[in-house]
Structure 1
Amino acid sequence: MTTLTPIFTTPRHSCSLLQRGPARDLYERLLQPQLSEGALDEACNFLDAQLQQAQELPCDVPLRPEALLDWMRDGAQRTTEAYGKYLQERRQGVPRRYFANRAHALYFLRHVAPTKLVDGAWLYGLLAHWQELRLRPLLRTYLEELGDGVPAMNHVVLYKQLLSQNGCDELAELEDGHFLQGAQQLALGHLADEYLPEVIGYNLGYEQLPLHLLITSYELTELDVDPYYFQLHVTIDNASTGHAQKAVQAVLENLPVVGDRDEFYRRVIRGYQLNDLGVGSTAVIAAFDLEDEVCAMLERKREVATQVHSDYCRIEGRTVNEWLSQPGQVRAFLEALEKRGWIRRNEDPQSSRFWQLVQGERAAMFGVFSSYEQQLLHDWIAGSWAPPRTRGRNRRRPAPAGAEQAAGLDDEAQALHATLREMPVQQQASKLIELMSPASHFTPAGLLATRLFNAYLQ
């Protein structure tokens, strides 16, 4: 019998070529504990350009701020009614609306990660004004995004854990457009003094409860992906006491009594419209093509896996090295493997000898593919095949997020307390705010700073 040698034998983390672009560059410049020179000027220019583009988009926000509360409640009602219809359709046997398979769901988690990993960042700049009562709804929203300093409730900690749990935390090859929303959020957060109405308006849009959040949570559960991060947002964005209600309250309480009230509200609406720029969740979901993702992933592997295989194994008359020597041959190579019987499509992947090389501790290519990459291969091979349905399949949630940080937390806590004791009282709040930035609030020091800062808002 011919033996197929390992096809992609390089370490998995060396296989992604970093995709650069203006949105990603700004995103990474603003996601630093200390901003580099010129970063804020760049952020300002970026925001102005985004706002100019956003104002050309259609907008459903009422022209009178007094109508906002009814508008928000009507929108929430439409969302819940649409979700009820979705559930009814599912009970009648209609297939999942968003995710065709588990690989599709993991693709979604990866591609929205740049936005989720700066959750709440647009509000960061308001912390310096914690004594302003009119900003309290927004400050409370930011602290709740940070889990009030509790690791198991901090949204970024939760999302990092979700990515790691599913082997989705390698984001190097994501295209620039997936960083645009995150770059907007970071820019607003660092420039809140100059763009207060836009921050308030962006928050108004982002904190409304969207239908896609409800459906995502439901379908992730079906696919054995922990939905807790998304379920948490369903509860805190409610229209009664949650972030959606606080967002409307913030608009109304910050409308100027003296000054141009209409201009302030127009800027609020422009900030709201920023939510419609970039690649949104439903666009990410619609862009998924399983075979294209498999081929793109293998092509990235190919770039650093050529000339490392034995020549005694030939597939359709060509060695593995020859198949991998030129770009654009991956799809044909997969077809050749399928033709030779190494891949058996639309069957249990365990029936494919190629899959047996990939998965398992004794597999020849063990460690070459991440969990996410294995899921792509698994679901592509499986195709229309589905395993028998079992009850209680959802995996048990891991230990509370951030528990692994406990060992180092005491040292950081003592260091932070010592630093604060040496500072004048009026500077202590500034130190805590610095640690609560989007770059560090999820660290042990940032989590502790958040808990200490809570006392200022009591």
Structure 2
Amino acid sequence: MTVLTRLHSTPAQPQAINPAGNIRCIYDALLKDENPQALAQSFLHEQLQNAGQLPDTLPQDPTTWHAWVAEHCTDVAQQYAEYLQQRKAGGARQFFTCKAQALYFLQAVAPTKLVDGAWLYGLLAQWQDPRFAGLLTTYLEELGDGNPAQNHVVIYRKLLAEHDLQDSAAIADEHYLQGALQLALGIAGVDCLPEVIGYNLGYEQLPLHLLITSYELSELGIDPYYFTLHVTIDNASTGHAQKAVQAVLDLLPLEADRADFLRRVSLGYRLNDLGQGSRAIIENFDLERELLAMLERKRPFGQHMHSDYCRFEGQTVNQWLSTPEQLPGFMQALQDKGWIKRNEDPQNSRFWQLIAGDGAAMFGVFNAYEKQLVHDWIAGDWKSSEKPKVARRRPQTAASIAVPEQDPDVQQLNAALQGQDGLTQIATLIPWLAPDRHAHPAGLLATRRFIELKSRQP
């Protein structure tokens, strides 16, 4: 079957495979397994059925989509201007009541951000077809064109590391849904082209929450660069939003069933609305619930590590930590004994002094995010008189890109490319641009080489 035939045909019925297990298992399999095609097909079939139950809000006439995208961008800009006016008038943050909530959000959306652009990976093989140029440009820009300072996954990994947010055990299973969808679409490639370009059309529209998130992260001392980068790169004039519309128009069939093609585009567009969105994740945050969940994750490691000399309401710390049901009572006992003083400066609480600072008796027991949960829970409605330091984007060095020549994957890739002509090299490089590889040294090198070789081809 030719590529053009596959572009305009209905996806094959999925094999009889049940994606058993939770969504994270599906996400991990799609990201790491060598042959995930059957799973991707089955998972997409199920999710497209779910998307079909959602309202169809995409305008029917694709010739109006450029204007529709521009109007959406204007509306978002107006809403953001109103937000800024409200904030400058002394209004409170709308998204993040405390830093812990912002860090919770960054961790919850990590499964999606760490596969940024994955839905387009399967289209790389069409690099010689000019109709795919905009889509491939979008994917390569998600990869930073091979520059680690601009690679979206590299940037997000650094953000997570800076705030000790790498513990994926704290991420709810449902938060893996959008990432799994992106991976499945990337695996499907041209076999699900209408769904891929429909999803791309929805994902690349500038959302209001992106602007507000960037503003409030900066206020809380968190580098917003990952988010501000998407504000500029997704613009409706020359950015990914404009390219997303043009891609649909360029790939619409000339004589085949356009109505069915657009129906599938609409289904792909609606895939964006499955699962919890950014706003829902933010609004679902409950500080005390997250604090107790964090303590429960640590409880098995600490239930036998404390001395018996200190008792609260007749029980030792080890006894309090023996079962998860006792954690709320233990935190209340600490308050009753004065070890925790809620709605005050956390420095006034003995418990905080035990876990924070270089000389703290429990130094290293809690990571930065876990300490932030404790800090903000104790502080409550107490407000520090110190003005928070607004985060600024750290300078990025993009002029020269060092290649770690001793990296074994880089060495193997360079060896594989030796003696190959341009077309064969491109075929060798494409697997290194996959979602699980492109942020590694060999993947970054492969991205740069792919762009260079592609530009040389007639």
**Structure 1 counterpart of 2:387, one-letter code:** T
Question: Aligned Cα RMSD in Å?
Answer: 1.9
Contact 1:409/1:445 (CA < 8 Å) preserved in 2? no
Secondary structure of residue in 1 paired with 2:331 = helix
1:222: how far off?
0.5
**Structure 2 counterpart of 1:205, one-letter code:** G
**Structure 2 counterpart of 1:74, one-letter code:** E
- Structure 1: 5+ residue stretches without partners: 1-19
Pairing 1:247–2:244 present: yes
Provide the C-alpha distance between the structure 1 equivalents of 2:48 and 2:398, rounded to a whole number of angstroms: 37
Among candidates 139, 143, 151, match of residue 142 of structure 1: 139
Indicate the residue corresponding to 2:16 in structure 1: none
Contact 2:117/2:142 (CA < 8 Å) preserved in 1? yes
Contact 1:21/1:176 (CA < 8 Å) preserved in 2? no
Contact 2:218/2:391 (CA < 8 Å) preserved in 1? no
- Structure number with the bigger relative contact order (C-alpha 8 A, sep ≥ 6) is 1
Provide the C-alpha distance between the structure 1 equivalents of 2:169 and 2:125, rounded to a whole number of angstroms: 33
Indicate the residue corresponding to 2:27 in structure 1: 27
Among candidates 71, 75, 80, match of residue 77 of structure 2: 80
1:415: how far off?
4.4
Among candidates 176, 189, 193, match of residue 192 of structure 1: 189
**Structure 2 counterpart of 1:256, one-letter code:** P
1:256: how far off?
0.6
Greater mean alpha carbon deviation, residues 50-59 or residues 194-203? 50-59
Provide the C-alpha distance between the structure 1 equivalents of 2:149 and 2:184, rounded to a whole number of angstroms: 27
Would the alpha carbon gap of residues 410 and 133 (structure 1) be closer, same or farther in structure 2, given more than 3 Å must change? farther
Secondary structure of residue in 2 paired with 1:193 = helix
Indicate the residue corresponding to 1:44 in structure 2: 41
How big is each residue's C-alpha offset from its partner over 1:388-409, in whole Å with a ceiling of 9 and x where there is no partner?
2437x13565574999x95735
Secondary structure of residue in 2 paired with 1:151 = coil
1:417: how far off?
2.8
**Structure 1 counterpart of 2:377, one-letter code:** W
Pairing 1:152–2:149 present: yes
Pairing 1:278–2:275 present: yes
Provide the C-alpha distance between the structure 2 equivalents of 1:130 and 1:426, rounded to a whole number of angstroms: 11
Among candidates 406, 416, 420, match of residue 417 of structure 2: 420
Indicate the residue corresponding to 2:404 in structure 1: 408
Contact 1:151/1:400 (CA < 8 Å) preserved in 2? no
Identity rate, percent: 56
Contact 1:157/1:402 (CA < 8 Å) preserved in 2? no
Provide the C-alpha distance between the structure 2 equivalents of 1:168 and 1:374, rounded to a whole number of angstroms: 12
How big is each residue's C-alpha offset from its partner over 1:104-123, in whole Å with a ceiling of 9 and x where there is no partner?
00000000000000000000
Pairing 1:105–2:63 present: no
Structure 2 length normalisation: TM-score? 0.91
**Structure 1 counterpart of 2:390, one-letter code:** N
Contact 1:69/1:248 (CA < 8 Å) preserved in 2? yes
**Structure 2 counterpart of 1:29, one-letter code:** A
Among candidates 394, 403, 406, match of residue 390 of structure 2: 394
Contact 2:119/2:196 (CA < 8 Å) preserved in 1? yes
Among candidates 333, 346, 351, match of residue 348 of structure 2: 351
**Structure 1 counterpart of 2:117, one-letter code:** G
Contact 1:217/1:227 (CA < 8 Å) preserved in 2? yes
Greater mean alpha carbon deviation, residues 240-249 or residues 257-266? 257-266
Among candidates 372, 379, 394, match of residue 369 of structure 2: 372
- Structure 2: 5+ residue stretches without partners: 1-19
Among candidates 216, 219, 223, match of residue 226 of structure 1: 223
**Structure 2 counterpart of 1:265, one-letter code:** L
Provide the C-alpha distance between the structure 2 equivalents of 1:367 and 1:186, rounded to a whole number of angstroms: 36
How big is each residue's C-alpha offset from its partner over 1:51-84, in whole Å with a ceiling of 9 and x where there is no partner?
0110111132101111111111111111111111
Provide the C-alpha distance between the structure 2 equivalents of 1:27 and 1:178, rounded to a whole number of angstroms: 10
1:148: how far off?
0.4
**Structure 2 counterpart of 1:44, one-letter code:** Q
Alignment map for 1:90-101 (pairs within 5 Å): 90-101=87-98
1:427: how far off?
2.1
Provide the C-alpha distance between the structure 2 equivalents of 1:36 and 1:150, rounded to a whole number of angstroms: 26
Provide the C-alpha distance between the structure 1 equivalents of 2:395 and 2:262, rounded to a whole number of angstroms: 45
Indicate the residue corresponding to 2:3 in structure 1: none
Provide the C-alpha distance between the structure 2 equivalents of 1:375 and 1:340, rounded to a whole number of angstroms: 22
Provide the C-alpha distance between the structure 1 equivalents of 2:101 and 2:361, rounded to a whole number of angstroms: 26
1:426: how far off?
3.0
How big is each residue's C-alpha offset from its partner over 1:361-394, in whole Å with a ceiling of 9 and x where there is no partner?
2211111111100000011111111222437x13
Secondary structure of residue in 2 paired with 1:408 = coil
**Structure 1 counterpart of 2:25, one-letter code:** D
Count of aligned positions: 434
1:323: how far off?
0.8
Pairing 1:63–2:79 present: no
Contact 2:116/2:152 (CA < 8 Å) preserved in 1? yes
